[in-house]
Amino acid sequence: MEFRPCIDLHGGKVKQIVGETLTAAAAEGGVVENFVSEHDSSYYAAMFKRDGLRGGHVIMLGGGNEEAALAALKEYPGGLQVGGGITADNAWRYLEAGASHVVVTSHIFHDGILDMDRLNRIAEVVGKDRLVIDLSCKQKDGRWYVVTNQWKTFSSFEVNSDNLRELEQYCDEYLVHAVDVEGKRTGILESLVTLLADSVTIPTTYAGGARSIEDLERFRSLTGGRLGITIGSALDIFGGNLSYREVVDFCREA
């Protein structure tokens, strides 16, 4: 079971925030910050490099984060993915700077639909093997749908087995944020985790709610080790109570 680390950037700083509060209205002062680091992005990139953790993601939450993202990529070339504002036009800037993959969401999911023209173009520009599709999703009427526009707009794209298998032909990996629990440390969303584990055939990382070794044990049981997991605000390196070292060791042994 693979642990994928994260570096979330907001206002040029490494932070952990409650994702749902990152909206235009929240930008006026309502963003809920779980943690603001005294260290820069390269500090965490160096940590993950020392520990041999590959495939972590650097996510730029809004503007003003490009310099910090590039600093992390420079520190750990080939070891990190980058997302947030990625398009077919700027993707190669980050790949040339050291990103192993680029992560896309809103560029291909916009106006409530999956834009196949944009998906085909970015897959052609960067190559399927360097593209990660972020399926940040929320539940509605018992089903899971991709949400965009800082996680406040539902798209028509349902996260289900058929759609996941269809989309796999365009990308190398999935990154799936469970928006309802992202940054809240309330436990994993077991129904979503189970759906993903039963459906995907490419590397897939789940993000959202994990807060304890017990959560990781449950995640391993539900997935059979078929999914990777990322943990943010619960970790002690991001102000939480869960030992980063214990998580790294647990996932290596799982």
Predicted TM-score of the model (pTM): 0.93
Please indicate, yes or no, if residue 133 is contained in any of the structural domains.
yes
* 24 — pLDDT class (breaks 50, 70, 90): very low
CATH number (domain holding residue 107): 3.20.20.70
Strands, E, within the chain: which ranges?
A: 6-10, 13-17, 33-36, 56-60, 80-83, 101-104, 109-110, 113-114, 131-134, 137-140, 143-148, 153-158, 173-177, 204-207, 228-230
pLDDT in tens, 59-89: 998 899 999 999 999 999 999 999 999 999 9
Rounded mean pLDDT of 182-210? 94
Instruction: State yes or no: pLDDT of 33 exceeds 90.
Output: no
* 21 — pLDDT class (breaks 50, 70, 90): low
Average pLDDT, the chain: 92
Residues 154, 180 contacting (CB under 8 angstroms) = no
Domain total for the chain? Answer: 1
Please indicate, yes or no, if residue 1 is contained in any of the structural domains.
no
Please indicate, yes or no, if residue 120 is contained in any of the structural domains.
yes
Structural domain harbouring 118:
6-253
How big is the chain, counted in residues?
254
pLDDT in tens, 107-165: 999 888 999 999 999 999 999 999 999 999 999 999 999 998 777 789 999 999 999 99
Predicted pLDDT of residue 6: 96
